[in-house]
Amino acid sequence: GQNIDQPTEMTATEGAIVQINCTYQTSGFNGLFWYQQHAGEAPTFLSYNVLDGLEEKGRFSSFLSRSKGYSYLLLKELQMKDSASYLCAVRDRSNDYKLSFGAGTTVTVRA
């Protein structure tokens, strides 16, 4: 299986930047996804990385280093509505391309 580790909780101030790290171990890496999940709601897709480097989408950026088994999600100019859980998920060729999810990082944005 896959070991996917991410911090349990992070707190930041409105307007600040927060970086959520994710480390993983997998035998057939085939992509890493970040999802946002507000309390009681379904996960919504944020970003996808399959090659090393940074992918930027507005206030959100995601970085991948395959050799280190490491990714981060960067949230800039934090807004109150960014308070949510952020899930890191890895797709694995040896697992028939299914996704395995981390437990999620709960980000709390304070005024």
Partner 1 sequence: DTGVSQDPRHKITKRGQNVTFRCDPISEHNRLYWYRQTLGQGPEFLTYFQNEAQLEKSRLLSDRFSAERPKGSFSTLEIQRTEQGDSAMYLCASSFYSGQETQYFGPGTRLLVL
Find the largest Cα–Cα distance for the chain: 44
Cα separation, 19 vs 22, in Å, equals 10
Nearer to partner 1 by C-beta: 31 or 70?
31
Q: How far is the CB of 80 from partner 1 (least distance, A)?
A: 22
Helices (H), 46-110: none
Nearer to partner 1 by C-beta: 31 or 74?
31
Helix/strand/coil percentages in the chain, nearest 5: 5, 60, 35
Q: How far is the CB of 2 from partner 1 (least distance, A)?
A: 11
> Contact positions toward partner 1, by CB under 8 A?
4, 31, 33, 35, 40-45, 48, 50, 87, 89, 91, 96-104
Q: How far is the CB of 44 from partner 1 (least distance, A)?
A: 7
Q: Which backbone phi and psi does 101 adopt, to 5 degrees? A: -105, 145
Q: How far is the CB of 88 from partner 1 (least distance, A)?
A: 8
Nearer to partner 1 by C-beta: 11 or 13?
11
Query: Cα 91 from chain centroid?
Result: 13
